[in-house]
A and B are shown apart, each in its own frame.
Chain A
Amino acid sequence: MLFKTRNFDDAKTVLDISDLVVSLPPAAKAKPVLNGISLTIRQGETVCLVGESGSGKSVTSLAVMGLLPKDALFVTGGSISLSGTDLLAQSPGAMQDMRARRVAMIFQEPMTALNPVLRVGEQIEEVLESHTKLPADERRRRVIDIMEQVHLPDVERVYRSYPHQLSGGQRQRIMIAMALVLEPELLIADEPTTALDVTTQKQILSLIAELQEKHGTAVLFITHDMGVVAEIADSVYVMNHGDMVEHAPIETLLRDPKKDYTRKLLAAVPSLTPRAARPAPGGDPVLRVEQLNMVYGGGGLFKRHPGTHAAKAVTFDVARGRTLGIVGESGSGKSTVARCIMRLIQPTSGAIRLRDSDIAQLTRKQLKPHRQHLQVVFQDPFRSLNPRWTVGRSLVEGPVNYGQSPAAARERAAELMEIVGLPRDSLDRYPHQFSGGQRQRIAIARAVAMEPDVLVADEAVSALDVSVQAQVLDLLDELQEKLGITIVFITHDLRVAAQICDDVLVMQRGVVVEQGAAADVLANPQHDYTRSLIEAAPGRSWDFANFRELGAA
């Protein structure tokens, strides 16, 4: 792994945050959201601010921008200085003038961060209108120039486009162009690649690095992804619950973290090295998918769309007790396949054989006896449990549907609570009383209560922080050992796939491009697309959990 080793000791300090305290309104009587944090960035330096959700990293960036939500968060102590200007002392008008001119920001969701009803060119130009007195043709020239600098294709056409007509990567390029058109001293990037696919992420990261080099911008990069940190950071600050835990140059931090929290955080990052192979399966496959096709839309009286072919001739099988990963970027069709298997949608053609019965075209009624062998865990732990029901009621719903007595089902539910690591009395509580990770455990317990043969996990850990993610993956593994469940694991994250899957199936635009044992596919990819996915995975040659290069035993 080649870390950045640039030295900034002689560069001038651009951002200096010292002992910053940000609090909720006094009436809330809560502990401060930022608890006296300090941070320095020098000219041309990239500083990564990492932490899990609720660590206060985004609040830090909004405080610098002077954009803390009114009446909700207040700076109550410390100072923020931008190249010697005390930002906290500025009037709202002066601060407004400073934004985009001296400090600019890009956000996580390029779709929602751009105004959907204005042309993107106009949105960039608006920065110049707000801060300069340039004549119209000069403004336009500058906009075209910065759009070329962020490597947008067909600049004249893109200038006139609306956000929804561009891809996610292009939209983020527009955001970057908007932020850098006035060459600010400091660029704050708040999770700018989190919503993007890995291959796009790689391009955006190198674009930011390129422009930083060119303009000497100081970059504050906020992320939760240690892989990204390893790729781009000069130095790293680790935050947890509003406290600054540790800061160090990148290599020092990854090789020799001083604080327990940092070690824990790094240890939870799954390795890209596939898990040790388990003994080959015996017996017939439990689930067999043959030539599965799914076409959405099409037809209609006035519409003449051909429809979207979301899954093309997908074929695979899984044996009892094994885990199959279906990996792909957004739009690859992996979720479509999952929903077909679950029979939440009816596939256009093909067979889905569950324990030898083909369920692909069964009606709702005919499906009922098969449902109990096939269960699901969804991505979003906040929406997968009925918020009005106690956990207990959600857990007994399925077994009671299949004739178990409520009392027996409840007894079993209580046991399951213990198995997934929650107290028995959780059954009487409501979903909102649990954290995201706990809810995901409950959703797993609900699925397992049906004693299914196959469990489909659709991005089941993607919404969780890495430390929680690791625990949930361990739980799935443990349940599989104990109960011999077959798991179909849908994910976009190669690290997660490497951690849990025996076999992997890589999908691109509805087609399976490569499949085989995880160890083979991930260590020795045959297809170009698989290779590009693996190469795009940030920090792929570093073994975070063991604080060393991969393979350096």
Chain B
Amino acid sequence: MLGYIIRRILAIIPVMLIVAIFVFLLLRLTPGDPAAIIAGDMATPEQLNRIREAMGLNDPLLVQFFTWMGRLLQGDLGVSLISGTDVTTMIGQRIFPTLNMALLTIVIAVMIAVPMGVVAAWRHRSWVDYAVMSFSVLGFSVPVFVIGYLFILVFAISLDWFPVQGYASPTDKGVLAFLDRAILPALTLATIYVALIARMTRASMLEVLGEDYIRTARAKGVRESKVLFRHALRNAAVPILTVIGTGFALLISGVVVTESVFNIPGIGRLTVDAILARDYPVIQAMILLTSGTYVVVNLIIDISYTIFDPRIRY
């Protein structure tokens, strides 16, 4: 087991290396002068030079790569072209709102989605099933910012239940103030995640409910609730976990959008501001950070399979 975990952690290295190479080449292989792309059309020669210097664009490609990788390994993500601040510091300042939001979202999503999917599968082809499926398709189809603005329109402006925008840190201002401001954005973010997880739970449960051992459980006279949650859900867990992991990518793009809609000072907003300002070192750092998080989240999920399925042994 420990050996497996070590092997899995080692397997991250090539994946992250390829991501890094990709991110590195993204800028360098773009046709045209990277400095001009970053600085925009109106840049003066001095500005261009400053950018070239800052990013080491005057060196040969391989030298650039190794210098860049070397800094990266020391945790140096470069310096923002706009503010001149160290990117690592910038991320450090902005990460907590995002983390808090993301955690709240995942908890809400799993708590809503899994029971939804289970009931839909159990009552396959009933009105509950159709309702869950309709909600799920809808969740996939409405852009997250439209959902965000609709929530603001209904719950903040018309009903005045929540503040329109903003953020309060749970540690400074207290959990209630945090929740007051975080519920709407978290629900917005959760919509697509709920759609995804509910759908997978339903599909996975439908498959498991057709298995012989479910028939055996019923032949034993086991209560239906026990058949569903003890026998079926545990067997259906692995695909559900997997989709929670891969859906994490959706969560990240949702964060970027939701933070701008609700004006939350997290790393999503940081990214949007960086795009508008073409602050390439920041964009680059964000890609590396989010990819790294994605890989680690999926590693944890992979390892957690063993809890649910004793057949998976390493």
Q: Are the C-beta atoms of B7 and A117 separated by less than 8 Å?
A: no
Indicate whether B213 reaches chain A with its CB closer than 8 angstroms. Answer: yes
CA A116 to CA B7, docked complex, whole Å: 26
Question: Complex: how many Å from CA A46 to CA B21?
Answer: 71
Q: Does A178 contact B (CB under 8 A)?
A: yes
Question: Considering only CB atoms, which chain B residue lies closest to A301 in the complex?
Answer: B7
Residue B3 CB within 8 A of the other chain: yes
Do residues B221 and A117 form an inter-chain contact, with CB atoms below 8 A?
A: no
Residues 204-219 of B, flagged 1 when their CB comes within 8 A of A and 0 if not, give: 0000000111011111
Proximity string of chain B (260-296) to chain A, C-beta cutoff 8 Å, 1 when within and 0 when not: 0000000000000000000000000000000000000
Interface flag for B223 (CB, 8 Å): yes
Binding site of A, secondary structure by majority: helix, strand, loop or mixed?
mixed
Total contacting residues, chain B, CB less than 8 A: 25
When the two chains form their complex, are residues B216 and A117 in contact, meaning their CB atoms are under 8 A apart?
Answer: no
Complex-state Cα separation, A71 to B3, whole angstroms: 49
Contacting residue for B220 out of A100, A162, A164, A302, CB 8 A? A100
Q: Does B235 contact A (CB under 8 A)?
A: yes
| Contact assessment for A114 and B213 in the assembled complex, using a CB-CB cutoff below 8 Å | yes
CA distance A116 to B309 in the complex (A): 8
**At the interface with chain B, which of A126-134, A413-421, A494-502, A523-531?**
A126-134
Cβ-closest chain B residue relative to A98: B221
- List which B216-251 residues lie within 8 A (CB) of chain A: 216-224, 226, 230-231, 234-235
A252 within 8 A of B: no
Please measure, in the bound complex, the distance between the C-alpha atom of A503 and the C-alpha atom of B231, giving whole angstroms: 49
**B211 CB to nearest chain A CB (Å):** 6
* A496-530 residues at the B interface, CB under 8 angstroms: none
Interface centre among B211, B217, B219 (most CB of A within 10 A): B219
Chain A, 64-110, CB within 8 A of any chain B CB: 65, 67, 71, 96-101, 104-105, 107, 109
Residue B311, interface by CB 8 Å: yes
The interface residues of chain B lying within 8 Å CB-to-CB of A116 are 213, 235, 309-311
CA–CA, A104 and B220, complex, Å: 7
Query: What chain B residues lie within 8 Å of A384 (beta carbons)?
Result: none
* Chain A residues whose CB sits within 8 angstroms of the CB of B311 once the complex forms: 116-117, 162, 164
**In the complex the two chains form, is B221's CB within 8 Å of A97's CB?**
yes
- Cα distance, A178 to B215, chains bound together (Å): 14
A405 within 8 A of B: no
The distance in angstroms between the C-alpha atoms of A91 and B234, with both chains bound, is 29
Q: A100-B221, A130-B221, A162-B311 are in contact. Are A117 and B235 (CB under 8 A)?
A: yes
Question: Would you give the shortest CB distance from A543 to chain B, in whole angstroms?
Answer: 36
Closest to A124 in B: B220
Number of interface residues of A (CB under 8 A): 29
Q: A100-B221, A115-B216, A116-B311 are contacts. A302–B7 as well, Cβ < 8 Å?
A: yes
Indicate whether A113 reaches chain B with its CB closer than 8 angstroms: yes
Q: Mark A470-507, 1 if CB is under 8 A from B, else 0.
A: 00000000000000000000000000000000000000
| B308 interface hit (Cβ, 8 Å) | yes
**Interchain CB contact under 8 A, A118 and B231:** yes
Known contacts A117-B309, A127-B221, A162-B310; 17 additional CB pairs below 8 A are: A67-B218, A67-B219, A71-B125, A99-B219, A100-B221, A101-B221, A109-B212, A112-B211, A112-B212, A113-B215, A116-B235, A116-B310, A117-B235, A118-B231, A126-B222, A126-B226, A164-B311
**Listed A/B pairs (19) with beta-carbon separation below 8 Å:** A99-B218, A99-B219, A99-B220, A99-B221, A100-B219, A107-B216, A112-B212, A115-B216, A116-B235, A117-B309, A118-B230, A118-B231, A127-B222, A130-B220, A130-B221, A130-B223, A162-B310, A175-B216, A302-B3
B interface vs A, CB < 8 Å?
A: 3, 7, 125, 211-213, 215-224, 226, 230-231, 234-235, 308-311
